[in-house]
Chain A
Amino acid sequence: MRISDLFRFSTDNLRRRMGRTILTIIGVVVGVCAIVVMVSLGVAVNQATDEMVQNWGDLRTINVSSYGAQPGTPDLDDKMVQNFKQMEHVLAATPMYSADGLSGIVTTGNGNQYANNYPSLIGMNPEAIPVMDYELLAGSYLPETPPAHAADTIEVLAGATAVFEFVDTRKGENHPNRQKYVEFPSYEEAGPNAAPSNLPQYDENNQLLNPDDFFFDILNSTLTYRMNYGTDANGQPQYKDYTLIVTGVVYTHDFSMDMGFVMSVESMKKLEKDYQRLSHTPAENQTGATVIPGSSDGTVQVAGYDTVYVKVDAVENMPEVEKAIMDTGYQISSMSQAREDLQGQVAQSQMMLGGLAAVSLFVAALNIANTMTMAIYERTREIGVMKVLGCRLSNIRTLFLIESGAIGLLGGILGVILSFGISVALNYLPAILAALGITANIDLAALFGLSGMMGISDMKLSVIQPWLVLLALCFATGVGLVSGIAPANRAVRISSLEAIRHE
């Protein structure tokens, strides 16, 4: 038989049993719909997690910690930082060093009018800074080798919002204008990843374009770091002053970094040494590991830096580098690892929900098989006649497979259409409820076992992507075909003689 005839013959037969065909198709529609909607929920959660993780920060940075290391792990020192740097796919490695016990304030202006009383100072390797995706708003990055200048002068990079950490000391504690604040654009317009709207803006000559937003121009001011190393006999605090030269302003996209200052590790170590000398604190020349009190898993804290950042060239190489560092014995954390954990969790829940939905599709499959078997019983005689008149066995099998496949495909198409409807309804549900005056917070994340997830308020509940449509259609057709196999084989086995004999 020709293919066109096979299709015409099959669809004629489906049309003949319209009522039963429709009922069977409805079964498939329900099954397909259940699966598509379940998967679409998972896709939506995954998109939301991705968005959330991007808010957290950079996906290509690995955070290596001195805590939680395996016994026997080497110190997290400069040598190890060099080792990391030489690994394949690693662009840069730097300690994130802040000296213990150091205390002081940063001031500027006439008579030290403006002060940051709790400055955050971090020491990094200068050559690693440009690689860390720290965006230079003005000036230049730290020089890799410090220029010759007075001993107590230190080059620093100011974070983009560091200027907002200063208070006007001439105004009282409760004065409304004592401090200027970071402002963000409205969430609705700018979304979750928006930059503050009042970051310092500079022209190519490093001239501040929006001076009214700040007390002073942090790039072109002289800052003083006043280190407090103790008290004298009269109980007066003792200070040592350093001049901070701001070489540039960087926007790090990490709010804790943005509000502080970055200097070279060398500078940080000099501050630390001075502090120890002046305050008569003995230097800790400790090497080797210490067992962390209370750690039950036998991990230790190694000596050296607390934290080292390793920058990887591409997200897909993260697992490889992460594994290499973990094999050295260190505990690491990274956004991409966190994302994988989240996605794993979502995938697991998705499998479970999908499994539930699959049950309904399985029922639909039984339905199809039943419908086809009935059709074959009813048409035993016809099938016999067709065989006697020279219809090939393969044609008979194909006829019935087309019928069952068509039921699956039709069910799939209608199921996908219905799913789109449900998906839209789900996504508008909060809005609809709000319009009705009902405030309901649909916590989809909880459904996927992600508690207390993110403040992503415009998160979609259901996302149906083209691949899901295609998959659903193939799957539904496949289910139809598979359910048709046994009935079709039964049709093939019908004895033509028996069929035409029963009168």
Chain B
Amino acid sequence: MAPIIRTESLRKVYHVGEEKVVALSNIDLSIEKGEFCCIIGSSGSGKSTLLNMLAGLEKPTKGLVVIAGKKVSKMDENQLALFRQQNLGFIFQSYNLLPQLTAAENVAMPLMFHGMPRPKRLKKARRELEAMGLENRENHKPTEMSGGQQQRVGIARAFVSKPQVIFADEPTGNLDSHTTLQVLQTMMDRSSKYGITFVMVTHERELAGCGDRIITLQDGAIIENLLLDEETKKANRAELFSGLDPMPGSADQGEE
């Protein structure tokens, strides 16, 4: 089966004044459908740059990004908007919820852009929030919620349209370690349940260990592309989530 995400000799050069900064050089990678893929590396190694280019938020200096058979790196803004509506979800480090909207409205936003009628999309959003254990927070504004709750709203927003791929740049970066584990578990459960390909940037190696694939960057190049075997994954997950109660509502809800 063709990989869902594929890059060909991807290169990104920033010009800062006279100076050239090579943020990424010659990235070739493939990510299979349904994989939970973690990109790790030290600060400044090019993780965000790679993620942004995969997601079409930034144009490569050279090379190609193909998602689900579409050359994302060649699309114009309007084509990208439509493509994102239908195929991509995003989770941000700083949540990026719209302050004037309630939790449910925030979650329903991608569906609104897609043109779904309001009652229908709010219903979907509420179900998604329930799955995140936020059934009591549907009508709360972001400012009325904790960081962990806000990020779970953000996750619900990424999952609500059941996209093919979800991109997340340090989604747990602003959360304490306990909440981090809760959120990570939720993201893994939800994506595996719906067969969604998940690409997450993190600088914490332990977190990456529970994914299917770890891509390690250094100075803009892939120094390791590791596909973990089932044994290792299980061991890593058991270790990581050992002290964690199962999150309320993270169990299957029998949707769709």
* Contact status of A391 and B81, CB under 8 A, knowing A1-B112, A496-B57: yes
Closest to B48 in A: A501
Give Cα A1–Cα B112 distance, bound, in whole angstroms. 6
Cα of A389 to Cα of B96 in the assembled complex, Å: 11
Which residue of A4, A381, A391, A395 is within 8 Å of B118 (Cβ)?
A4
Residues of B contacting A13 with CB < 8 Å? 100
Q: Determine if A393 and B77 form an interchain contact, defined as CB atoms under 8 angstroms apart.
A: yes
B67-75, B84-92, B211-219, B230-238 - the one binding chain A? B84-92
Q: Is the beta-carbon distance between B94 and A392 smaller than 8 angstroms?
A: no
Q: Which residue among A12, A16, A389, A394 has the maximum number of chain B CB atoms within 10 Å of its CB?
A: A389
Q: Determine whether the beta carbon of A389 is less than 8 Å from that of B100.
A: no
Q: What is the number of residues of chain A that contact chain B, defined by CB distance less than 8 Å? A: 24
Closest to A389 in B: B110
The reply on A358 being an interface residue by CB < 8 A is no
Binary flags per residue of A108-131, CB closer than 8 Å to B gives 1, else 0: 000000000000000000000000
Find residues 158-213 in chain B having any chain A CB closer than 8 Å to their own CB: none
Chain A 390-422 interface mask (CB, 8 Å, partner B; 1/0): 111111000000000000000000000000000
Q: What separation, in Å, do the CA atoms of A387 and B96 have in the docked complex?
A: 12
A2 interfacial by beta-carbon distance below 8 Å:
yes
Interface residues on B, range: 20 to 34
- Chain B residue contacts of A503, Cβ below 8 A: 93-94
Distance (whole angstroms) from the CB of B63 to the closest CB of chain A? 18
Q: Say if the beta carbon of A485 comes within 8 Å of chain B.
A: no
Chain A residue with Cβ nearest B76: A393
What does the 1/0 interface line of B51-86 toward A look like (CB < 8 Å)? 010010110000000000000000001100111111
Are B78 and A393 in touch, CB under 8 angstroms? yes
Bound Cα distance A408, B58 (Å) = 37
**Contact of A385 with B by CB under 8 A:** yes
Inter-subunit contact B98/A382 (CB<8 Å): yes
Contact B58 A389 (CB under 8 A): no
From A501, which residue of chain B is reached at the shortest CB distance?
B48
B-facing mask of A1-21, CB < 8 A → 1, else 0? 110110000001100100000
B156 at the interface (CB under 8 A from A): no
Check A453 for interface membership: any CB of B closer than 8 A: no
For A388, give its contact among B84, B112, B118 (CB under 8 Å). Answer: B84
Structural contact, A1 and B78, CB atoms closer than 8 A = no
Asked whether, in the complex, the Cβ of A392 is within 8 Å of the Cβ of B98, the reply is: no
CA distance A2 to B124 in the complex (A): 17
Q: How far, in angstroms, from A390 to B165 measured CA to CA in the complex?
A: 14
Question: Which of B81, B86, B94, B157 has the most chain A CB within a 10 Å cutoff?
Answer: B81
The answer, yes or no, to whether B140 is at the interface (CB within 8 Å) is: no
Residue of A nearest to B81 (CB): A392
Write the chain A residue with the least CB distance to B98. A382
Whether A325 is near chain B, meaning CB under 8 Å from some CB there, is: no
Do B58 and A391 touch across chains, with their CB atoms under 8 A apart? no
In the complex, the chain A residue whose C-beta lies closest to that of B163 is A390
Closest chain A CB from B166 CB (angstroms): 12
State how many angstroms separate the Cβ of B158 from the closest Cβ of chain A. 9
Contact flag A393-B81 (CB < 8 Å), given A386-B113, A496-B57: yes
When chains A and B are docked, how far (Å) is the Cα of A394 from the Cα of B118? 20
A355–chain B nearest beta-carbon distance, Å: 40
Q: Name the B residues within 8 Å of A44 (CB-CB).
A: none
The 7 closest A-B pairs by CB, nearest first: A390-B85, A390-B84, A385-B96, A391-B113, A392-B81, A390-B113, A497-B57
